[in-house]
Amino acid sequence: KDSFPEIYTQSIPNDDLEESRPIPTTTLLLGLHPDECTEDILDAALEHNLSVAIIPCCLFSYLYPSRTIRRSSDSDDGKDEEVPVRDYNDFLQYLLDKDDTLQLATLPFEGKNKVIYRKVES
């Protein structure tokens, strides 16, 4: 068969949240080494109140120069400062900062093994 299954080709209405889910019965979004769409997967899960598990890999800082995280300043005023996301740990923190329900765990294998996840009870 040369075409994708129907679930991948259905149109998505934008006027109703339940109907605008990527697939109306979706409950979980997964991303394993999703490259440039890492943040998009996470944002979609948060927007549609879905469970999510993502194993980020490359951060593509040159494509996303506006990504920043808050970091404690070394200055005497004690104010936090916005710093650019430039390494993997910064990227993990940037993603985790999107929502308080997100958690971080380490998976038992070599390489990029950090998973950002949340489970939404239905």
Q: What is the pLDDT of residue 38?
A: 95
For residue 95, the 8-state DSSP code is H
Q: Report whether 105 contacts 117 (CB < 8 A).
A: yes
- Residues with Cβ within 8 Å of 20's Cβ and at least 6 positions away in sequence, in order, are 12, 13, 14, 48
DSSP character string of 36-55: GGHHHHHHHHHHTT-EEEEE
Q: Is residue 21 part of a domain?
A: no
Average pLDDT, the chain: 83
Q: Is residue 15 part of a domain?
A: no
Q: Is residue 68 part of a domain?
A: yes
Range of the domain at 60: 26-118
Q: Is residue 103 part of a domain?
A: yes
Q: Is residue 70 part of a domain?
A: yes
* pLDDT tens, residue by residue, 43-54: 999 999 999 999
Q: How many independent structural domains does the chain possess?
A: 1
Say what the pTM is.
0.75
Q: What burial class does residue 77 get, using C-beta atoms within 10 Å of its C-beta: 0-12 exposed, 13-18 middle, 19+ buried?
A: exposed
* pLDDT tens, residue by residue, 65-114: 999 999 877 766 667 889 999 999 999 999 999 999 999 999 999 999 99
User: What 3-state class would DSSP assign to 104?
Assistant: strand
Q: What is the pLDDT of residue 80?
A: 84
